[in-house]
Amino acid sequence: MNRLHIYITLLQTLQSAMDSHDYEQSDEPPMPDVFDEDTVNELQDFLSKAGGVMLLDELATGAERFVTLDQTLDMSSATLRDRLDQADELDLVEVEIRTQDDEGRKYWKLTDRGEVIREEIQKTDLVRIQKRIRELQHEFDGEVDSLLAQMKARTDEMNEKYGKFLIGGG
């Protein structure tokens, strides 16, 4: 075989190999496969827990300190810490240390993966529904408090009514 024939055979072999891998024909790298079934199940678990959706939504505007998130989000500090830890494990958020007055301050921000999930959330009504649920829960809690206050103020009257039921005159 002469050199030209070997060269052509080599080029044909390379072309055949490239044809079997579409991404090698483009300038773009292969797409990552990070959203497999297990990951989607873990994300479902995270998003279904209290504060998961709201945390990602809150970080949409940029990095925030724990203190700010704690004041803004309607959840306990312990729940917020749990959500941040879980989001960190899922690579949805990361810590950014900013130096200010010779002091390192810890900020939480969305990762690229977290941003992809947040964008998917924005395509739904999850944030609106979550906010509405929170409003209704506050309204419900207020009504329960009001009922209990009325009951305390009217214990004598309620005891009298109950007594009438007991003796059959209700």
Q: Where are the domains positioned within the chain?
A: 35-124, 125-170
* Across 9-35, average pLDDT: 54
Categorize the per-residue pLDDT at 7 as very low, low, confident or very high, splitting at 50, 70 and 90: very low
What are the C-alpha distances in Å from 116 to residues 22, 30, 107, 120, 145?
24, 17, 20, 6, 41
| pLDDT tens sequence across 86-104 | 999 999 999 998 887 778 8
| Contacts for 79 with CB less than 8 Å, ≥ 6 apart | 50, 51
Q: ∠ CA 72-76-79 to the nearest 5 degrees?
A: 105
* pLDDT tens figures, 123-136: 988 888 888 988 89
- The average confidence (pLDDT) of the chain is 82
From residue 125, give the alpha-carbon distance in Å to each of 38, 53, 119, 130. Answer: 24, 11, 12, 8
Quick check: pTM over 0.85? no
What fold, for 35-124? Arc Repressor Mutant, subunit A (1.10.10)
